[in-house]
Amino acid sequence: MIRVDVKNISKKFIIDSKKDEGALLKLVNALRGNFKKEERHALENISFKVGSGEVTGIIGKNGAGKSTLLKIIAGIYEPSSGSACTDGACVYLTSLGLGLMPKLTMRENIYLMGSIMGLEQKEIDQKFNAIVNFSGLEKFVDQKVYQFSSGMIARLSFSTTFFCIEHKNPDILLVDEVFDSGGDFDFKEKAAKKMEELIKGQASVIIASHDLKIIEKYCSRVLYFREGKIALEGDPETVIKKYQEDK
Amino acid sequence: MGKIKTFIENSRKILNLSFSIAKAKFNMRNEGSYLGVLWYLLEPLSFFAILLFLGGVISNTSIPRYPLYLLLGLIMFNFFMSSTSSATNVINANSGFIKSFKTDPEMFVVANTIQFAFSHIFELAIFLFFLVVFKMNIIFILAYPFIFFFFFLFVLGASFILSILGAYIIDFNNIWNVAGRFLFFATPIFYLIPRQTWLFAVSRFNPLYHYISISRDIIVYNTFPVFYGMLLVAVVSVCFFVVGLFVFEKNKSKLAEKL
């Protein structure tokens, strides 16, 4: 069963050379007829399929189009042409700790993050204890997050994100460079196990990472991206070898 | 039929979520204590005191029940201005979420307006206190939720449009705040527009004028405006909301790339 079907996707970004200009400058430039805009092709004619339960890796240098592709599959970006069809619930997982609000307590943060990730109040109630226990921060539930150390923040955000994802039980999991959970050694080990459980579960997974060991360990197939195109596709060993040669 | 069901289901989800976010943001703004609300009330109340003083001492205003007239106008304008001003920033402020989750960004705009509606309740409590002090019949305030419902739709519609403009133009917040100053003086908040003047004719096109004057007529002067006038205001509110939502829906898919 095909879970992700990417057909001829291309993505052009229009890079406004003066993206941060204010209204007045925009007006002046418009009056002068100065519409200087650059186009950058982030992806060109990408096609591939991911079957049910399959784990696919994506490697490539920075700016090769890995994240853009995952965001298009997740529905965050729209492709310029082509289509990405997904069959089933899809979750995009990127750098952790984005949504935490320092002025709220840990409890409030868990509820807020949970609801933004699409869980109902009742569902968060059910998961709440598990999240707190996993993070090991039982004593700090009603403390505000700005009083937390960076390790504690990492624990909180990893636990909340993962339990929410687990609860949603996604059919497709898009993982964008999130293997270092932060926190101390014990927690890292615990987090890595949790991550492994998630990847080895029933979901179809696409992992974009620079960590070649992880790609080799989990993926059955790897796509090597170079300047927005698939340079090579195949088994991890061959593709990684080619990538390292190119470097 | 299925589409309508999905639409209702989705709207319910967005509303629930907006409500949770608004609650969290409101708590955050007030540092989790109700004393924090005092800070929020300080601005409109001090402004009220100054204008009341100026109205009484300098221009010797002849508007009956002037303090109530002024306070109601001020708090309604404050709700409009603070929510729309914050709306110009709301997409940028939540860019982390919009860029990394497949979310409905409508919820951030709706949450923003709900958050200011919470604060508005506290301002209303002060207004209610003044009604009691002035020995007014407070039963008329029961009409306010109906007026506020349409006022809220209008503010939400405006917020949808302003949030998109704010995402595309980085200094739009400044522009809107300046426009707000003009709007403040163009709306009869601390003065009365004499009829048969050009300003009165222009004010008829200012939606804020209508919400404020209908509320004053009912709550402060206990008279009911003509039914058709109120109906027109209701229709305009719904139209504003629909147009605002339409503009937002047309542009939302590009937001993640723009940020």
Each residue's pLDDT tens digit, B31-50? 656 677 787 788 888 989 99
Q: What ipTM does this complex have?
A: 0.81
CA distance B125 to chain A (A): 26
Q: Average pLDDT, stretch B150-165?
A: 97
Query: Contacts of residue A22 in chain B, CB cutoff 8 Å?
Result: 169-171
Indicate yes or no: CB of A23 within 8 angstroms of CB of B172.
yes
pLDDT at A181 over 70: no
Query: Contacts of residue B31 in chain A, CB cutoff 8 Å?
Result: 103
Q: Which of A65-69, A181-185, B51-55, B145-149 has the lowest mean pLDDT?
A: A181-185
Indicate yes or no: CB of A77 within 8 angstroms of CB of B256.
yes
Parallel, antiparallel, or unpaired: how do β-strands A55-60 and A204-208 relate? parallel
Residue A194: CB atoms within 10 A of its CB come to 17
pLDDT at B61 over 80: no
Looking at every residue in chain A, the average pLDDT score rounds to 86
Each residue's pLDDT tens digit, B192-243? 888 888 888 888 899 999 999 999 999 999 999 888 989 999 999 999 999 9
Confidence band of A196 (pLDDT split at 50, 70, 90): confident
pLDDT at A226 over 70: yes
pLDDT at A177 over 90: no
pLDDT at A70 over 80: yes
The tokens 């001492």 sit on which residue? B57
Considering only CB atoms, A108 lies closest to which of B27, B96, B169, namely: B27
Looking at every residue in chain B, the average pLDDT score rounds to 89
pLDDT at A162 over 90: no
- Which residues are bridge partners to A37 per DSSP? A16
Q: Report the residue of chain B nearest A89, measured CA to CA.
A: B102
Q: What is the pLDDT of residue A139?
A: 93
Indicate yes or no: CB of B24 within 8 angstroms of CB of A92.
no
CA distance B178 to chain A (A): 13
Q: What whole-number distance in Å separates Cα of residue A181 and Cα of residue A186?
A: 11
Confidence band of B60 (pLDDT split at 50, 70, 90): low
Query: What distance lies between CA B35 and its chain's CA centroid?
Result: 23
Which of B29, B98, B100, B258 is the mutation pick for testing A, counting most A CBs within 10 A? B100
CA distance A218 to chain B (A): 23
Indicate yes or no: CB of B170 within 8 angstroms of CB of A111.
no
Q: What is the pLDDT of residue B31?
A: 65
Each residue's pLDDT tens digit, A85-139? 989 888 888 866 667 888 888 998 898 888 888 788 888 889 999 999 999 999 9
Indicate yes or no: CB of B253 within 8 angstroms of CB of A120.
no
Q: Which residues of A touch B (CB under 8 A)?
A: 13, 20-24, 26, 71, 74-78, 90, 92, 94-95, 98-99, 101, 103-105, 108, 111-112, 115-118, 120-121
